[in-house]
Structure 1
Amino acid sequence: FDSAGRIPPIRDAVGVVGFHGNDVDISLSSGTVYMPSGRTVAASNGTLTVKAANRPPVVGALDIDVDGEASAVAELASYEPINAMRHVGILPEDLSGSVTGHVKADIPLQSGVDSSKLDWLVSLDYSGMSLAKPFEGQIVTDADGSITVDPEKAVISAKALLNGIPAELDLVEPLRDDGPARSRKVALVLDDKIRAAAMPGLKPLLAGTVKVAIDKNGGGAQNVSADLTNARLDIPWAGWSKGAGVPANVTFVMTKSGDTTTLSDFDLDGKTFSVVGSIVLVNGALSSARFSKVTLNRGDDVAVSVKRSGKGYAVDISGNALDARSLIKQFTSDVDTATKTTGSDAISVSADVDQLTGFHDEQLSNLKLDYSAAGSRVNGLKVSARASSGAAISISNTTGAGQRSLNMQSADAGAILRFLNIYEHMEGGTITLALAGPSDGSLKGKVDTSNFFVVNEPKLASIVSTTPAGDNRSLNQAVKGKLDTSRVKFERGYAEIDKGSGYLKLANGVLRGPRIGTTFQGTLYDQDNNMDMTGTFMPVYGLNRIFGELPIVGALLGNGRDRGLIGVTYRLKGNANKPLLDINPLSVIAPGIFRSIFEYR
């Protein structure tokens, strides 16, 4: 059974031929198309209808089902007058898999017919189809889907592995100038395992499942969008993260030129955060980025640029306002986190921000910052700013020769401690902190403050108002209610510090004021977040200090320069966030020289 054009004949055909005047109807129950290459395609349910065969041009309408290997069906579709493969750019021998489908075509039955005016339609379903060679630079394997080809366009829809990644493909290829716009739409679902194999550089930034949609229209640019809702997103150097389940989307336009990929119109958007700008990748790695607007927390208003610098990155931040609480959590969570590396690239950060927001509604102005780190190991930090009171603040962290030192000075101690979420009950005062030690070990040093107030400190109020076991009065009752702890002035605060991996110990601590004083020592918190602090609390400190300053009386009663005449010994023990307070009642009436007998050991 010969059809028409250059389409190979159908052999072993079973069918019926009917004549109705000048009309001819040919039906085909079954048959096999044998190609010159030796490939075969099964044909069935076919008809060839010719109307008015006596009037030229004589054209038949072919309608037939086909079934065979992908390479054989592709070869069949490549013959005139259909020639559906001429614009696809895929050779039959490049295909594997199985195909079933339907072919409708106007078949010229005489010479001289203009084939460009003939109509035809090829609709194929395929399964397990793979391409031996890259298609538009992509490896396509194990594809299940459909392809529909007519004189204007080829439309491909498939679920396949794209470069080994599960994908959904929707492609439109125009076959003539007046055809539809060229379109490439790809949807990917990327989990941790797939990203680790295909994009290992994203591991420190992204965890969880991400849905990615790629739309390529016309030229070389691709519109990319991704749903990050089910993923965790981390920006380690900023101390910022988005948890899984928090809605977020990112869109950008991707263009490629050689080894360089540019992501323009980059827009990361969430309910309380957004990042807008552009990114340049070279060989898949970040080369540079410029973000004109970065809002990681409400109120942020900064611009950020990132450039590859050697084996690391240089980051520049400038703008009007930045919420620094995430950064503060990262830097103050523990010293040991600043002495361990995660193996990620080195980074340096310079910042010039008009207003920086910290904890307890505290703000710093005129921030200047230089910071360098490798992974989570801080190599250098230099900060200068001014508190809301106008007082200067400076912080520095330096490393070298296996040693590390941390220093802080401020003319408004309360402001910087509130800003850093270290202590919220101090107002005013000056503070100096100096710590040093090996870069991979604990830091030791001292903190010294002067001329400050402690306001509404609950632990201080508890020491004064708690009635000790075995006694019938509190310390405040013992001194006739003269202790007001709502606002207490201190002339000096001092402690020796030992800060290591997961712990903070204090020694020889003292708070000295005109009305109240206390000594303290012990573990402020350990690796299990437990506290064990002991000390002596002295009311009417100014009066008691007079005795301590008298050479003879002080030697007998004062028991040292920073010990008073009367007081209580106390112990804070238990969970560091909510320790239990114990007071030794016997020390209430004991002279200073005997007080140490009753102190907790």
Structure 2
Amino acid sequence: MPSGKVKGNPGEKSPNAGKDAGMTDETEPETELRPRSRAPRRVMRFGLWMLLSLALVVGLAGFGLLALTGKPIRLPVWAVAEAEARLNDALPMGGNNLSIGGVEIAVGRDWVPRLRLEDLRLTRSGGAPLLRLPEARVAFDPLSIAALRLRPASVVLSGASIRLRRDATGRFDLDLGEAGAGPQLGSFAEVMAALDALFARPQLAALQEVTVEALSLRLDDARAGRVWQLGDGRAVLANDPEGLGAELSFTLAGGAQVAQAQLQVRTERGTAGARLRATVEGVAARDLALQAPVLGFLSALDAPISGRLNGSVDAEGQVAGLEAELALGAGALQPSPESKPVGFDSARLALAYDPAQERIDLTEIAVQSRSLRLGASGHVYAPGVTRGRPAAFLAQIAFSEVKVDPEGLFVEPVTFSQGALDLRLRLDPFRLDVGQLTLLEDGRRLEAKGSARADASGWHLALDLALDAIRHDRLLALWPVSAVHKTREWLVENVQEGLLRNVKVALRMEPGAEPRFSLGYDFADGDVRFLKTLPPIRQGSGYATIEGNSYTMVLDRGQVTPPVGGRITMDGSIFSVLDILQKPAQSEIQLRTKSSLTAALSLLDQEPFRFLTKAGRPVELGEGRAEVSAVLRLPLVPHIKLDDVSYQVEGRLSDVRSAVLVPGKELSAPALNLTAGPSGLAITGKGRVGAVPFDATYKLPFGPAAGGKSTITGTVELSPRAVAEFSLGLPDRMVSGQGSGKFTLELPKGGAGRLALTSDLRGLGLALPEIGWRKAPATAGRLEVAATLGQPPQVQALSLQAPGLTAKGDISLRAGGGLDRARFARVQAGNWLDAPVTLTGRGKGRAVGVEVTGGRIDLRRLPERGGSGGASDGAPMRAALDSVQVTDGIALTGLRGEFTTRGGFGGTFTGRVNGGAAVRGTVAPMKGGSGIRITSDDAGGVIASAGIFGNARGGALDLQLVPVGANTYNGIATARNFRVTNAPVLAELLSAISVVGILEQLNGAGLVFAEADAQFRLTPAGVEVSRGAAVGASMGVSAAGTFDSRNKRLNLQGVISPIYLLNGIGSVLTRKGEGLFGFNYKIRGTSDRPEISVNPLSILTPGLFREIFRQPVPKLRPAQ
């Protein structure tokens, strides 16, 4: 075709140009009114028609040749340049420039001409690229060619690069190639109307398909905050008489695996909406959720999704309906990168969306993994989803199957056949609120509520579960094997049966903190074993909790049956694990028991304790009731040793009776307190041993060092009934009143008990009438006893200290009861007795025998006895004393005697006066005491040994003492045929009266006195002689006065009568020892330095008148 015709005048118009290009004068104003955003599209259409015209001109020349050869012809460069120039001149490019790299023309065997354009570039006036197509292929409609009109039948574009931008409102901007900002796409209706208008033009009436190959698409989504890069895309736009169809397929890169998606859109002529169909494979759940707000709930999943979606959109591009079937591959629930993923293997989801109600019907929900299988259906309300992303999803789910079986978590799968769930899901930030979850299986009803949220710090979880009833074994199946496994193992091994009710579970999790878990439930008819070695608790009921790190089980009701003693009620017992996270976990057992005493001791004698067995004691210690509280702490380990267990036992025993604790005696108590610990067992309280009250503590130490020895310590009553109860055999009335003693009773294993007793003797009256000693009840003292409670009991040591009496010794008792012998190595009674004393039992009701061997008695200080009576048969007494002090200067030494208290104190004895002259004596009971008669064959020796007169020799003595008061006796003494020699006092007296012959006789063979007698009073202070006389052939002497034994002072007066054989006739007128004529004398001073005075003129006073002038007899001053 000539070039001139193609170019024409710049000012002229081709007759067909406007028609072919669709641009006439009438259309020019319309073009100017269109938005500027449509200018590139108009330029493209105009350029296309120009190219088609060029192709037609060129094609007519070589059409036949091309049809015959089938080979493409490449236009020369000049032709391409000429065509490019004419296109730029002819097309309204709006300042843009079109360049073509090359053109090829070919005719196929079907006689359809085809045009191939290479490297098409559309640039802005400043050189910035607007669009670049590596290749464009156009196939023309044969019918239009026959009509001499070139109408494209199909167009294939290759290598297009498109950028879409979606703003926060959801509208799209189109950016072609590298041009930057491009035209803004209108609504879905506007886009579809524009496409309809485009294909309605006559020039494109034959165009059936536009294909874009090797398409790359970049989507900058400001609403989602994401950029998607789509590659290897292919877009097909199909035009048919009924409507338009579009298909877009692409590959989405950037994830763990390459995802593919295919989108199909179909519109019908005359309608504003469209039908959609999408198929996805391996698309990330988050990506799909971001593009489809109705599927926004999938944004928390990190998993690939494959499936199909069928739906429709309205004129505004809003989803008018949607159905989807989606399959999720292996993935996890992970709302944020910091939250720990919750994995699953696969899932299926089938749904239908109703935008009018903003409701999603979930016709199928299926989750499958090695740890979870779930089947469900339900519906979701998404308020606001039609206006964008909803603020929350409100779901109601019905479960048809739930099976939870994490590997290694449960002993067996946990299954439920039906259930329901109400929840609310918020996505920004992620928060899941469970209003109610109910799961049912075999009559069990599990209810739960809670919330879970995830943020930059991780998961925050709050979950509360409630179960109406479940068997114990089923709860253990629900208990995770690895969760506090030692506590779980303990429950498996020690809680055998039972029905659990009102099960409550709470779980709280916070990032960076240990999970907080609580569990609570009631149980009934359960068998619980707190320790493997102890009998199980049968028919137990109560409740259990886990709070924080502590597990607690409280037993409201239950019972244990030990080997001996009958049932034990365990109501109120508690088992707890102090810290379930500790390794090994430490448990605490608080036992509360009520039973017989034997049953309680039998329980304490089980392994690992064996308290009584190790102590060599039977569990049958006695009868009674026991209420025991025990606290045991032990680790939860397979094998428990006693050293692993710390424990403390407290109890109250009532109505106790035992014939074992105190051999041979029944111990009884209304109430006792019991304690036990690692060191031993103790029982404390008040009771009676037989009839004797006590307040004592029984202690049984544990361990090898104790050797099975136990002790009883406390206080016991000391009284006549105690004497009778323990068969001490003491005389009646020896013990009176009531006192108490502190005692310690050691009970060795297999041996007799050893008793140690002390007392202050207050309240206790004691009496030994045999020795005249008494202790008033109000008077204090000291008693110490060490005894062995064998058969019979033996008192190894007894020490008694009381006012007026001190005794130390030992006591043996008879096998049949009663006193055998009490041996006191030293008895001190006041200051009058200091001697060993032996008391010998003589049978019940009879006075004990008394034997005194050695020691001394001081009669001066002998206490008064309250009467002369004694036991009916009298108490025999045998004495072998070293000394019996009669007065200050007179003592009987080497006394041997036998006495009795029958009818009073009496008996016979022998001894020596002050270690000198021997005497014999008799003691007889008399009113006021005991009378004494002393005889001797050496009267002079007795007088001399007594320190009264040391120069007498020989003679017979008869001395009688009659008690008249405390340690005071009236005495009569008679001596016969004794001799006085070398008596200084008498010599001085004779010298004073110038009786030479008698004096010489005194200094020679001595004066012989045929008879002497005296009446006197013997007191502790000395001797008062009221009348005394000694007569012999040579002289007679009378005397009266005092001898103070305390200071050896003499105060005597009397008459000395010489030649008494003749002079004695006058005694009938005076008194014995005084003659008709005699000399009065006085003796003063001490016995070793006497002062003698004689009145010579007194001889002139005949005996008849001597009484008139006789002075009163001197008296002793009373002893202080």
- Give the TM-score of the pair, scaled to structure 2: 0.35
Q: Tell me if 1:318 matches 2:844.
A: no
* Amino-acid identity (%): 15
Do the aligned partners of residues 175 and 252 (structure 1) sit closer, same or farther apart at CA in structure 2, a change above 3 Å counting?
A: same
SS in 2 for 1:120: strand
Mapped partners of 2:967, 2:679: distance in 1: 72
Report the 3-state secondary structure (helix = DSSP H, G, I; strand = E; otherwise coil) of the residue aligned with 1:201.
coil
Matches within 5 A, 1:190-589: 190-196=718-724, 198-199=726-727, 201-202=729-730, 203-217=732-746, 220-259=753-792, 261-270=793-802, 273-283=805-815, 284-298=817-831, 300-306=833-839, 313=849, 315-319=851-855, 321-325=856-860, 329-330=864-865, 337=868, 342-343=871-872, 346-353=875-882, 355-358=883-886, 361=888, 363-373=890-900, 375-378=902-905, 380-386=907-913, 393-397=919-923, 407-409=933-935, 430-431=973-974, 450-451=1013-1014, 489=1054, 514=1074
The C-alpha deviation readout for 1:112-139, integer Å capped at 9, x for no partner, is: 3334432222111223222365554442
Which of 615, 624, 628 lines up with 1:96 in the alignment? 624
Partners of 1:85 and 1:457 lie apart in 2 by: 74
The question of whether the paired residues in 1 share the 8 Å contact of 2:893 and 2:914 is answered with: no
The answer to whether 1:167 aligns with 2:694 is yes
Q: Distance in 2 between matches of 1:414 and 1:167?
A: 58
The one-letter amino acid of 2:600's match is: V
Q: Secondary structure at the match of 1:237?
A: coil
What does the per-residue CA deviation read over 1:301-328, in whole Å, with 9 as the maximum and x for residues that have no partner? Answer: 4333445689863613213x32235658
Cα distance per residue 1:92-125 (max 9 Å; x no partner)? 694213x333211135656433344322221112
The SS at the match of 1:288 is strand
1:28: how far off? 1.2
Kept after mapping to 2: 8 A contact 1:159/1:168: yes
Aligned to 2:543: 15
CA distance in 2 between partners of 1:112 and 1:425 (Å)? 87
Relative to 1, partners in 2 of residues 1:294 and 1:103: Cα closer, same or farther, differing over 3 Å?
same
Unaligned runs of at least 5 residues, structure 2: 1-525, 926-930, 949-958, 976-1010, 1027-1039, 1043-1050, 1057-1069, 1077-1097, 1110-1120
Match of 2:559 in 1: 33
From the superposition, tell whether residues 512 and 378 of structure 1 become closer, same or farther in structure 2 (CA, over 3 Å). same
> Per-residue displacement from partner, 1:510-537 (whole Å, max 9, x unpaired)?
9756499xxxxxxxxxxxxxxxxxxxxx
1:518-564 per-residue CA deviation (whole Å, 9 max, x = no partner) reads: xxxxxxxxxxxxxxxxxxxxxx9x988769xxxxxxxxxxxxxxxx9
Distance 1:10 1:511 in 2: 112
Shift of 1:184: 2.5
Tell me which amino acid in the other structure corresponds to 1:230: G
The answer as to 2:616 corresponding to 1:62 is: no
Letter in 2 for 1:322: I
For the 8 Å contact 1:387–1:393, the answer to whether it is kept is no
8 Å CA contact 2:822–2:840 kept in 1: the answer is yes
Distance 2:579 2:1023 in 1: 101
1:120-164 Cα distance to aligned partner (Å, 9 max, x none): 221112232223655544421124221111233112212111123
Report the CA distance between 1:70 and its aligned residue: 3.4
Q: How far is 1:194 from its partner?
A: 4.6
**1:152 corresponding residue in structure 2:** 679
Match of 1:113 in 2: 640
- Distance in 2 between the 1:132 and 1:288 partners? 28
Per the TM alignment, residue 366 of structure 1 is displaced from its structure 2 partner at its CA by 1.7
Supply the AA of the counterpart residue of 1:35: T
Number of aligned residue pairs: 456
- Could you tell me whether the CA contact under 8 Å between 1:240 and 1:326 is conserved in 2? no
Given the alignment, which residue of 525, 529, 532 partners 1:3? 529
Residues 125 and 146, structure 1, Cα contact 8 Å, conserved in 2: yes
Report if the CA contact (8 A) 1:297-1:323 is conserved.
no
Is the CA contact (8 Å cut-off) linking 1:183 and 1:217 kept in structure 2? yes
CA 1:514/1:423 → structure 2, altered by over 3 Å: closer, same or farther? Answer: farther
Q: 1:83 to 1:230 in 2, by over 3 A?
A: same
Instruction: Give CA deviations for 1:179-221 in whole Å, capped at 9, x if unaligned.
Output: 6974331421133345445547223422222322221347543
Q: For 1:127, which of 654, 660, 664 is the aligned residue?
A: 654
Distance 1:328 1:182, change over 3 A: closer
Write the distance in 2 (CA, Å) between the matches of 1:268 and 1:33. 54
Give the letter aligned to residue 877 of structure 2. Answer: S
Change over 3 Å in CA distance of 1:179–1:25 after alignment to 2: farther
Give the residue type in structure 2 aligned to 1:159: K
Counterpart amino acid of residue 32 in structure 1: G
CA distance in 1, matches of 2:678, 2:919: 74
Give the Cα separation in 2 of the matches to 1:54 and 1:153. Answer: 30
CA contact (8 A) 2:686 2:695 kept: yes
For structure 1, list consecutive stretches of 5 or more residues without a partner in the other structure.
400-404, 433-447, 461-482, 492-509, 517-539, 548-563, 568-601
SS at match of 1:26: strand
Q: Would the aligned equivalents of 2:886 and 2:892 in 1 still touch at CA under 8 Å?
A: no
Greater mean alpha carbon deviation, residues 236-245 or residues 307-316 = 307-316
Task: Kindly state the Cα deviation for residue 374 of structure 1 after the two structures are TM-superposed.
Answer: 5.2
Distance 1:423 1:226, change over 3 A: closer
Cα offset, 1:348, TM superposition: 3.0
Q: Is the 8 A contact 1:141 1:160 kept in 2?
A: yes
Which has the higher Rg, Structure 1 or Structure 2? 2
RMSD: 4.9
Matched-pair contact (CA < 8 Å) for 1:489–1:513: no
TM-aligned CA deviation for residue 30 of structure 1: 1.7
Contact 2:1055 2:1074 in 1 (8 A): yes
Q: Tell me, what secondary structure is at the counterpart of 2:907?
A: strand
Q: Secondary structure, in 3 states, of the residue corresponding to 2:830?
A: coil
CA shift, 1:25, in A, is 0.9
Q: Distance in 2 between matches of 1:15 and 1:423?
A: 85
Distance in 1 (alpha carbons) for counterparts of 2:601 and 2:788 = 32
Please state whether the residue corresponding to 2:770 is helix, strand or coil. Answer: helix
Please give the alpha-carbon distance, in whole angstroms, between the structure 1 residues aligned to 2:629 and 2:636: 21
TM-score when normalising by structure 1: 0.62
Alpha-carbon shift at residue 33 of structure 1 (Å) = 1.7
